[in-house]
Structure 1
Amino acid sequence: MGAFVISKKHNDEYKFVYTSRKGKIVFSSKSYELKMYCEEDIEIIKANAADAQCIKFKASNGAFFYKLMIGEKEYAKSRKFNTELRLAKGIAEVALYVSKAEVLDFSGAPVFVD
């Protein structure tokens, strides 16, 4: 099972990534000014994972990616995949595992301190 990982960016905004069981980033969110909005969107994605649309795109360099949409709103953008088969596997993972994913919050104190 994968996990949603919340982090704080250098500009004090929040974002989340969804990581696969192997620890690879599957998709990333936009930036959020407040952590509660980030958490709310994670819950929306988890609750609606079965109905989410993954709209496929091809980048100018030939890589494939998708945008995770629920209704008319874009919630996240996937990492780049080098083949359509890997893109399809990434999309399949959304339907299978996202609704059961745990949420890890690393937005507070530094995890690794000298």
Structure 2
Amino acid sequence: MGKFVITKRTNGEFQFNLTANNGQTILSSEGYTTKPNCEKGIESVKRNSQDDSKFDCKIASNGKPYFNLKATNGQIIGTSQLYESEASRDNGIASVKTNAPEAIIDDRTN
């Protein structure tokens, strides 16, 4: 089972990373000014990760594929790492879909 790891940035903002069973980060959030907003972002990922239309496949300026996960309002709630191939990116999307719904929360801000 994956987990959402909540951390605090040096600027005081909260963020989460969704990690797979092997500990690899598969999705990273934006910065949130409060922990409750960060937790709402996690709930949004859990909901939206089951809707294929919420995944936006992109190509970075260096040619590497990645994806964004968007909320119903179109706001980006998570961004993947850069992948070596589109097939690897697609595997990353599948991993988010598998791990996000039942992922536990590991709060490392205390």
Give TM-score, length-normalised by structure 1: 0.89
| Residue 94 of structure 2 corresponds to residue 96 of structure 1 | no
AA partner of residue 28 (structure 1)? S
Tell me the matched-pair count. 108
Task: Find the counterpart in structure 1 of residue 60 from structure 2.
Answer: 59
Q: Deviations over 1:31-68 (max 9, x none)?
A: 01111100111012213321261101111212111010
SS at match of 2:88: helix
Unpaired stretches in structure 2, ≥5 consecutive residues = none
Equivalence for 1:105:
107
RMSD across aligned positions (CA): 1.2
1:12 corresponds in structure 2 to: 12
Structure 1 moving runs of 4+ over 3 Å:
none
Deviation of 1:93 (Å): 1.2
Q: Indicate the SS of the match to 2:83.
A: coil
- Give percent identity, aligned residues only: 32
Preserved contact between residue 51 and residue 70 of structure 1 (Cα < 8 Å): no
Asked if the contact 2:48/2:70 (under 8 Å) is kept, the reply is no
Q: Which runs of 5+ in 1 are unaligned?
A: 109-114
Q: For 1:19-98, what aligned pairs fall within 5 Å after superposition? A: 19-51=19-51, 53-71=54-72, 72-98=74-100
Q: TM-score, normalised by structure 2?
A: 0.92
Structure number with greater Rg is 1
Superposed displacement of residue 87, structure 1: 0.2
2:36 and 2:75 map into 1 onto residues whose CA distance is: 18
| Distance in 1 (alpha carbons) for counterparts of 2:44 and 2:78 | 12
Cα distance in 2 for residues equivalent to 1:99 and 1:59? 27
